[in-house]
Amino acid sequence: MDKAEAWFKLKERRTTIGTEVLAGCTTFMTMAFVVIVNPGILSASGMDFHAVFIATILTTILSTLIIALAGNYPIVIAPGMGINAFFAFGVVQGAGVSWQVALGSVFLAGLLFMLISLSRHGRLLIESIPASLKYAITAGTGLFICFVGLQNAKLIVASPDTLVTIGSLHEPAALLSVIGLVLTLVLMSYRVRAALFIGMLLTAAIGWLMGLLILPDHWFAWPGTMTGTFMQMDVKGVFEQGLFAVTFTFLLISVFDTTGTLVSLAEQAGLMKNGVFPRSRSALMANAAGVTAGAVMGTSPVTTLIESGSGIAAGGRTGLTAVVTCALLAATSFLAPVAETLANLPSVTAPALIVVGYYMITDLLHIDWKDFEESFPAFLVLVTMPLTYSVSTSIGIGFIFYIVLKAARGRFKEIHPVLYVFAALFIVQIGFFHG
């Protein structure tokens, strides 16, 4: 106990082991839905559910332990919602890329992220992207994942006349999705910290009563292996298919989500010092290592989870909070039959995707909508992302029109030189490799 107090500096941060354990349990309950939803989404791309389930847990534990032990932060890093939907539905299903090549793209993005984290000039990438486009990328990804959630819920269905239309509540799965969404929103309105996870469990129970969910023969099983996904990334295929913009998109979303969320959580925990984020390099490296290792194990990019804020709100101030969460995640690896059962009924997981989309779209508040040259490219990113089913294409459109509008008004000084390189990359991707 004394060693733990000394290592995590509990007295210095005015916390106790009991408080940290409670905070770790709180964070786990809040983010537990990730280990169910992530393999459920990625299995839609043809990946083995059980392998992704274990990969999700191990990647989360690895990257979280790095930030907990090296950075002493009460923060959890896990596969991000939104970017996993882009992986499965935008890259694999939408662009016809194999999941092995998609993992190769994630692996390269992870290596670039590590270089950025180690380099003194790493912030150049972040600073070169206009703030309006950064916010639009996050919000657009939120719309995209919400759209996927509505489709999985069968609340939006295909239509030969209007492309998409509202689903029918006569469809049992759609009705269950509505019930699950209402239950989740009610829990959230009462500030229940584990609202998403509890909402999934309640929806599953109702689905069982409706005869839509079949309980597994056994609830526990020894953790499986990652044989189906481990070291399956195809890096060569990335270069052969010219997926540079896709790789760049994985990198952008990983970097933006990570940096923004890290600062927000550090401020919430009172760990910022004179506006400076201490040990930021170790925090960024933890995320970068997680993205790279995740590709090796078989999962989409990780990011700093905003759900870590629930543990911070419960008093978590050190890496011990994150270590406790990791211990609970390790125990979850024995519940693969339960996770697969829940993931196999989309109505159970769809409400979580819709709610996560809501949280991501709130970044639109930070865009200056009165500045046309700033706001219209952001608008294009926002609109085209769910409609084209391609995060990378929408980002490219935003970059290109940002330069066009700024140049038309003679505001060349507001265009970072690096942005021209990015725009050229997307022009090549959209013009020669898309479709």
- 431 versus 148: which is more confidently predicted? 148
Indicate the pTM of the whole model.
0.81
Reported as a single tens digit per residue, the pLDDT across 201-231 is 899 999 999 999 888 777 877 877 788 899 9
Instruction: Tell me what percent of the residues of the chain surpass a pLDDT of 90.
Output: 36
* Span 270-294, pLDDT tens digits: 776 666 666 777 888 899 999 999 9
**Local structure of 71: helix, strand or coil:** coil
Q: Which of 121-125, 253-257, 345-349 has the largest mean confidence?
A: 345-349
pLDDT per residue as tens digits for the range 89-147: 889 988 889 999 999 999 999 999 998 888 776 666 666 778 888 888 888 888 888 88
Report residue 194 as tokens.
């584990």
- The predicted model gives 62-66 an average pLDDT of 95
**Region 350-363 average pLDDT:** 84
Give the number of other Cβ atoms within 10 Å of residue 90's Cβ. Answer: 26
pLDDT at 76: 93
Tell me what pLDDT residue 322 has. 93
Name the packing angle between helices 131-152 and 391-408 (round to 10°).
150
Please compute the mean of the pLDDT values over residues 161-184 and round it to a whole number: 91
Nearest to 419 by CA among 389, 390, 435, 398: 398
pLDDT at 415: 87
Q: Kindly list the distances between the CA atom of residue 81 and the CA atoms of 42, 121, 223, 359, in Å, as whole numbers in the listed order.
A: 11, 28, 24, 11
pLDDT of residue 35: 92
Quick one: pLDDT at residue 10?
A: 79
- Average pLDDT on 37-41 reads 91
Most confident of 264-278, 307-321, 421-435: 307-321
**Looking at residues 58-65, what average pLDDT do you find?**
95
Q: What are phi and psi of 73, to 5 degrees?
A: -110, 145
Q: Which residue has the higher pLDDT, 411 or 60?
A: 60
Parallel, antiparallel, or unpaired for β 77-79 and 156-159?
unpaired
Quick one: pLDDT at residue 83? 87
pLDDT mean over 310-334: 88
pLDDT higher than 60, residue 433: no
Q: How does residue 434 score in pLDDT terms, banded at 50, 70 and 90?
A: low
CA distance 371 to 211: 53
The pLDDT score that the predictor gives to residue 378 is 93
Report CA-CA distances (Å) from 142 to 1, 21, 147, 174, 391.
42, 31, 9, 21, 11
Stronger pLDDT, 51 or 352, i.e. the higher one: 51
**CA-CA distance, 319 to 207, in Å (whole number)?**
38
**Residue 242 pLDDT more than 60?**
yes
Read off the pLDDT band of 4 (50, 70, 90). low
Please say if the pLDDT value at position 163 is more than 80. Answer: yes
Pairing status of strand 156-159 against strand 302-304? unpaired
**Res 2 pLDDT > 70:** no
276 beta partners: 273
Domain boundaries, the chain: 12-433
**pLDDT at 202 (0 to 100):** 93
Cα 214 to Cα 344: distance, rounded to the nearest angstrom: 10
Least confident range from 17-21, 101-105, 251-255: namely 251-255
DSSP 166: E
Q: What is the mean pLDDT of the chain?
A: 86
